[in-house]
A and B are shown apart, each in its own frame.
Chain A
């Protein structure tokens, strides 16, 4: 405890608390709670039963009221700690409730019925994880289908993005030709054209190409990212031209130079772009929402939003599916966060 306290309360210098130290401390600890709290709350909530979710005030951890099968009753009965008239407490099972009075029996000796005021009893609760929230959507919803669609779109789009963008970046960094700066300018200018500006005509192009209601209609418009070309080109400019000239002298073809020299040397930048691309495509929402209108084609994001917008929201399933949707991104966050932060800090692009 002492070590933790010293860690939490440590400050610059050690000459007492300047107001900026206090402010920093409040901001960081507040930030920790506000940034992680909601996600932690989501995970805890996703493990609760529907009954526990409907409760107010909610419990932090997932609890359920214990039940017991009592002889002479078909259904399992709820267990309560009941305060008896003589002041002792006993564990009783509720048979039925009439107004403010509950009729209860002792599970071990079900013959006698006790009448207990409902204010004199508290449910017996044990911690329990409702894992069926996670397993049932696989059966009841097309959850597996959505998961597969999302994985397919993410993986295929990322692979195509890497190939196409690195080829363009190679051409724009290692060849001298007319219109090179124009091509670069066009690519950078498209950074200013967001989806919301072109979504209506883009939709008509997708329908004309017969890609409406197809996962390829989601994949193709997103693969030629200007950000990707930009990152890769900046990196390829640092590869010395002598290397390429040496390969040409060894009779390497241009394709071999690209594939066997430039690409392996661009690996760090490719890795950054791959991580970005995975996060972008996994999180994509508006465009899949427009292109995919058949249930079996939904990606996770679209499926989740459609289910959560229904009149009778089954929150216990929605919350569990949200946690599953979050998992890849959290993994990226834990293991690859460093690449993303340096990527953003280096280019200012998301």
Chain B
């Protein structure tokens, strides 16, 4: 691989320094401004050829070659045309890979068959939706035509409720503790942040290894005289494990956002409270929590949205099993759409639209609550 063209700003500090000196107005008058001529120009501020300069030479040459036709384009279309040129690649990729699928999704959900190309699919109207909602008894997933869908919905619901509430609680406690006057605070922050960067597959495998029969958990319990147990073959323990593992993997992320919110609360408020002799509990309920509210709201929205889509680490950890006890919505969509022999992309599209609807509603509700809270604060 050739070196990334953007290595320059990171490594070539000299060059960056020369350009940022342009910030200072006094230098505009002096002779030190970089000169741009029509051919791309030589860098007048650099004298000694450093390693980064040598590495950048081919890239600079390419950029000069690119520049020639672009100058002609600029002459032809003006600056407005250049804006379109800069925006085009990103919008094109957005259009093809995000917006177009969004539209096609609706068409898909109204067609049947197993083919993936739209032209080979026949229009069946709302049949996929009515199939999803066909139930004898709405309280029992097993009485539905698509029992797997309703099992996934039920599992996801309980997962979201339990995981998000535990997540907010633990993240809040962690952030409050990290906000105290600790020795080596950045070290402790890093400790809780560490699992966030791990890939979901690694997270799933680490915990699969710990929870298996010869694993670390059983070893720990064995020290207290308990018999080894195969945790991942027990329906309720597996479900609890999925919540625990996703807590472990993502808690640090939310703790970090809450911590940023805590540090933004003005210190003088606490000093004033201390002078008044306010009890710490009252300080928490009357100062910390209300001022943290907007930040907490962001965290709740993010956690909810992430939690509804849970898939990767759980899929590696349990594969949805045992039985369907940890089958969640994304896995249902994935398996209905691609993996199973009886695949039905239309049904998967219908289910994903329902899920998208839930996500949009969740976001809007949360934003609405946030607005109301803000207005209340103004009065």
A residues adjacent to B (C-beta < 8 A) = 7, 10, 12, 20, 23-24, 27-28, 31-32, 34-39, 41-42, 45, 53-58, 152, 155-156, 158-159, 162-165, 167-168, 170-172, 175, 177, 183, 186-187, 190, 192-194, 196-205, 207-208, 220-221, 223-224, 229, 240, 243, 246-247, 250-256, 258-261, 263-267, 270-271, 274, 279, 282-283, 285-286, 290, 301, 304-305, 308-309, 315, 318-319, 322, 325-326, 329-330, 332-333, 337-338, 340-341, 344-346, 348, 350
CB within 8 Å for A200 and B209 given contacts A246-B33, A247-B36: no
Given the complex of chains A and B, what is the CA–CA distance between A304 and B200 in angstroms? Answer: 11
Segment from B160-168, B270-278, B344-352 that makes contact with A: B344-352
Q: How far is the CB of A211 from chain B (nearest CB, A)?
A: 10
CB within 8 Å for A193 and B192 given contacts A255-B66, A255-B70: no
Interface of A is mostly: helix
Encoded as 1 (CB less than 8 Å from any A CB) or 0, chain B from 324 to 367 comes to 00000110011001100000010011001101100110010000
Residues of chain B within 8 A (CB-CB) of A183 are 87, 91
Cβ A177 vs Cβ B83 within 8 A: yes
B195 beta carbon closer than 8 Å to chain A: yes
Q: How far is the CB of A197 from chain B (nearest CB, A)?
A: 4
Given the complex of chains A and B, what is the CA–CA distance between A32 and B118 in angstroms? Answer: 52
Residues of chain A within 8 A (CB-CB) of B82 are 175, 254-255
Given the complex of chains A and B, what is the CA–CA distance between A205 and B197 in angstroms? Answer: 30
Residues of chain A within 8 A (CB-CB) of B196 are 350
Residues of chain B within 8 A (CB-CB) of A279 are 197
Cβ A190 vs Cβ B334 within 8 A: no
Given the complex of chains A and B, what is the CA–CA distance between A271 and B16 in angstroms? Answer: 14
Cβ A164 vs Cβ B90 within 8 A: yes
The 10 closest A-B pairs by CB, nearest first: A267-B9, A168-B90, A283-B199, A345-B260, A252-B36, A171-B86, A201-B104, A175-B83, A224-B93, A201-B101
Cβ B352 vs Cβ A56 within 8 A: no
Cβ B97 vs Cβ A253 within 8 A: no
Which residue of chain B has the shortest Cβ distance to A273 in the bound complex? B6
B55 beta carbon closer than 8 Å to chain A: no
Q: List 23 A-B contacts (CB under 8 A).
A: A24-B182, A35-B195, A39-B206, A56-B214, A56-B219, A155-B4, A190-B98, A194-B305, A196-B355, A200-B105, A201-B104, A203-B345, A204-B108, A250-B36, A254-B82, A258-B86, A265-B16, A265-B20, A283-B198, A301-B199, A329-B202, A333-B194, A344-B256
Cβ B96 vs Cβ A205 within 8 A: yes
Cβ A224 vs Cβ B191 within 8 A: no
